Amino acid sequence: MSIVTKLEHPLLQHKLTLLRNKETNSKDFRDLTKEIAMLMAYEVTREFPLEDIEIETPICKTLSKKISGKTVAIVPILRAGLGMVDGVLEIVPAAKVGHIGLYRNEETLQPVEYYLKLPKDIDKRTVIITEPMLATGGSIVAAVDLLKARGVKDIKVMSLVVAEPGAKTVEEAHPDIEIFTVGHDAELNEHGYITPGLGDAGDRLFGTK
Ligand code: URA
């Protein structure tokens, strides 16, 4: 079974079409990315275990459900991953947020860490990595490597669009993680952009082009 789950909810698919459209401006792109991240978080947390808790309603005591011992850390990969953080926080407000900065060494083509700040108890948390574009998969493999090296066991990735070659690379390196996406595109072009994709997510979020 593939580690990639494509979310088919009509609202998500509709909003992704708006994101893909080159006429969508930065403000709308940011708003849509946040809305999509919020809706995706609803699906990503679907399997969280529940336990009974006794509470008292205005009428009587009753057993009701609460999420069982699950604590979450959201870890955006800088910079485009930042665009998805607030959407996840909308519905998982108790989550802590860590940050990973990676750049690509142009000689070795390997991702190199330039910034890392994680919650102290990261090894006890379910980590949701946010990376809007999973292209070659190199930065996700590196991010998962460094999270696992710190004892993290439960890792989920949220991407707006995943390219098939990148998904394969991640699956080979880390078959035990889950990737959630709204778009699953076939390939990358010669410049490393996902095709059809949506362009450079960081530039479109922050208006830098
Ligand atoms: N990063 C992006 O922002 N877009 C792509 O298509 C590939 C990598």
Which residue among 26, 169, 194 has the greatest number of ligand 1 atoms within 8 angstroms of its CB, and so is best to mutate?
A: 194
Task: Judge if pTM exceeds 0.85.
Answer: yes
pLDDT digits (tens, 9 = 90+) for 148-170: 999 999 999 999 999 999 999 99
82 Cα to the center of ligand 1, angstroms: 14
83/37 Cα distance (integer angstroms): 9
Closest residue by Cα to atom 3, ligand 1, is 200
The 3-state secondary structure of the chain reads CCCEEECCCHHHHHHHHHHHCCCCCHHHHHHHHHHHHHHHHHHHCCCCCEEEEEEECCCCEEEEEEECCCCEEEEEEECHHHHHHHHHHHHCCCCEECEEEEEECCCCCCEEEEEEECCCCHHHCEEEEECCEECCCHHHHHHHHHHHHCCCCEEEEEEEEEEHHHHHHHHHHCCCCEEEEEEEECEECCCCCEECCCCCHHHHHHCCC
Ligand 1 pocket, residue 197 CB under 6 Å: yes
pLDDT one digit per residue (tens) for the chain, 209 residues? 899 999 999 999 999 999 999 999 999 999 999 999 999 999 999 999 999 999 999 999 999 999 997 799 999 999 999 999 999 999 999 999 999 999 878 777 788 999 999 999 999 999 999 999 999 999 999 999 999 999 999 999 999 999 999 999 999 999 999 999 999 999 999 999 999 999 999 999 999 98
Question: Which residues form the domain of 59?
Answer: 4-206
Cα separation, 204 vs 209, in Å, equals: 7
Contact 5, 181 (CB under 8 A): yes
Ligand 1 pocket, residue 203 CB under 6 Å? no
The CATH number for 44's domain is 3.40.50.2020
Instruction: Indicate if ligand 1 lies below 6 Å from the C-beta of 183.
Output: no
Task: Check pocket membership of 193 for ligand 1, CB cut-off 6 A.
Answer: yes
Total number of domains constituting the chain: 1
Distance (Å, whole) CA 73 – CA 93: 10
**Cα R_g (the chain), whole angstroms:** 18
Say how many Å lie between the CA of residue 192 and the centre of ligand 1: 7
